Amino acid sequence: MRSFFLFLICFFYSTVSLSGQCDGDITLSTQAEVDNFLDEYGCSTIEGDLTIGGSYSSPSDISSLTPLSDISEIQGDLKIRYTELISINIFQKLE
Protein backbone atom coordinates (compact mmCIF):
# COMPACT_ATOMS: atom_id res chain seq x y z
CA MET A 1 0.00 0.00 0.00
CA ARG A 2 2.81 2.37 0.84
CA SER A 3 4.41 1.80 -2.60
CA PHE A 4 1.13 2.57 -4.31
CA PHE A 5 0.77 5.83 -2.37
CA LEU A 6 4.34 6.81 -3.30
CA PHE A 7 3.57 6.02 -6.94
CA LEU A 8 0.49 8.27 -6.87
CA ILE A 9 2.46 11.14 -5.39
CA CYS A 10 5.20 10.81 -8.04
CA PHE A 11 2.63 10.53 -10.83
CA PHE A 12 0.70 13.57 -9.63
CA TYR A 13 3.87 15.63 -9.27
CA SER A 14 5.11 14.77 -12.77
CA THR A 15 1.70 15.47 -14.32
CA VAL A 16 1.38 18.86 -12.64
CA SER A 17 4.92 19.92 -13.46
CA LEU A 18 4.65 19.01 -17.15
CA SER A 19 1.16 20.27 -17.90
CA GLY A 20 2.26 23.84 -18.70
CA GLN A 21 5.07 22.89 -21.05
CA CYS A 22 5.16 21.91 -24.73
CA ASP A 23 8.19 20.09 -26.08
CA GLY A 24 9.45 20.91 -29.56
CA ASP A 25 8.47 23.41 -32.23
CA ILE A 26 4.89 24.54 -32.82
CA THR A 27 3.60 25.92 -36.12
CA LEU A 28 0.21 27.63 -36.37
CA SER A 29 -0.73 28.31 -39.99
CA THR A 30 -4.42 29.23 -39.77
CA GLN A 31 -6.74 31.15 -37.46
CA ALA A 32 -8.45 27.85 -36.64
CA GLU A 33 -5.14 26.41 -35.39
CA VAL A 34 -4.57 29.51 -33.24
CA ASP A 35 -8.12 29.26 -31.89
CA ASN A 36 -7.57 25.58 -30.97
CA PHE A 37 -4.19 26.16 -29.30
CA LEU A 38 -5.49 25.66 -25.76
CA ASP A 39 -7.30 22.43 -26.63
CA GLU A 40 -4.46 21.07 -28.74
CA TYR A 41 -1.46 22.14 -26.63
CA GLY A 42 -2.63 23.97 -23.50
CA CYS A 43 0.84 25.09 -22.46
CA SER A 44 2.37 28.34 -21.26
CA THR A 45 5.99 27.37 -22.00
CA ILE A 46 7.18 26.25 -25.44
CA GLU A 47 10.53 24.43 -25.50
CA GLY A 48 11.18 25.24 -29.13
CA ASP A 49 10.19 27.68 -31.85
CA LEU A 50 6.71 29.14 -32.23
CA THR A 51 5.96 29.90 -35.87
CA ILE A 52 2.77 31.79 -36.70
CA GLY A 53 1.58 32.43 -40.24
CA GLY A 54 1.93 31.28 -43.79
CA SER A 55 4.30 31.82 -46.66
CA TYR A 56 4.70 34.38 -49.42
CA SER A 57 2.80 32.20 -51.88
CA SER A 58 0.18 31.16 -49.32
CA PRO A 59 -0.50 33.93 -46.77
CA SER A 60 -2.33 33.05 -43.57
CA ASP A 61 -5.78 34.20 -42.43
CA ILE A 62 -4.53 34.73 -38.85
CA SER A 63 -5.88 38.01 -37.53
CA SER A 64 -6.03 37.44 -33.75
CA LEU A 65 -3.62 35.85 -31.30
CA THR A 66 -5.88 36.11 -28.24
CA PRO A 67 -5.86 32.33 -27.57
CA LEU A 68 -2.07 32.55 -27.13
CA SER A 69 -2.24 35.14 -24.33
CA ASP A 70 -1.17 32.67 -21.60
CA ILE A 71 2.17 31.90 -23.24
CA SER A 72 4.85 33.18 -20.86
CA GLU A 73 8.00 31.63 -22.32
CA ILE A 74 9.26 30.59 -25.73
CA GLN A 75 12.68 28.97 -25.43
CA GLY A 76 13.27 29.05 -29.18
CA ASP A 77 12.42 31.71 -31.74
CA LEU A 78 9.11 33.50 -32.25
CA LYS A 79 8.47 33.77 -35.98
CA ILE A 80 5.48 35.70 -37.33
CA ARG A 81 5.11 36.02 -41.08
CA TYR A 82 2.54 36.63 -43.78
CA THR A 83 -0.51 37.11 -41.55
CA GLU A 84 -3.34 39.61 -41.29
CA LEU A 85 -2.19 40.71 -37.82
CA ILE A 86 -2.25 44.38 -36.93
CA SER A 87 -0.76 44.00 -33.44
CA ILE A 88 1.14 41.44 -31.39
CA ASN A 89 0.47 43.05 -28.00
CA ILE A 90 -0.85 39.70 -26.82
CA PHE A 91 2.69 38.57 -25.95
CA GLN A 92 3.06 40.91 -22.97
CA LYS A 93 3.52 37.96 -20.58
CA LEU A 94 6.66 36.72 -22.31
CA GLU A 95 9.67 36.56 -20.01
pLDDT tens by residue, 19-56: 599 999 999 999 999 999 999 999 999 999 999 999 99
**Percent of the chain with pLDDT strictly greater than 70:** 80
Question: How many residues make up the chain in this entry?
Answer: 95
**In this predicted structure, what is the pLDDT of residue 45?**
97
Q: How confident is the model at residue 92 (pLDDT cuts 50, 70, 90)?
A: confident
What does the mean pLDDT of the chain come to?
Answer: 86
Q: pTM for this one?
A: 0.78
Residues 6+ apart with CB under 8 A from 3: none
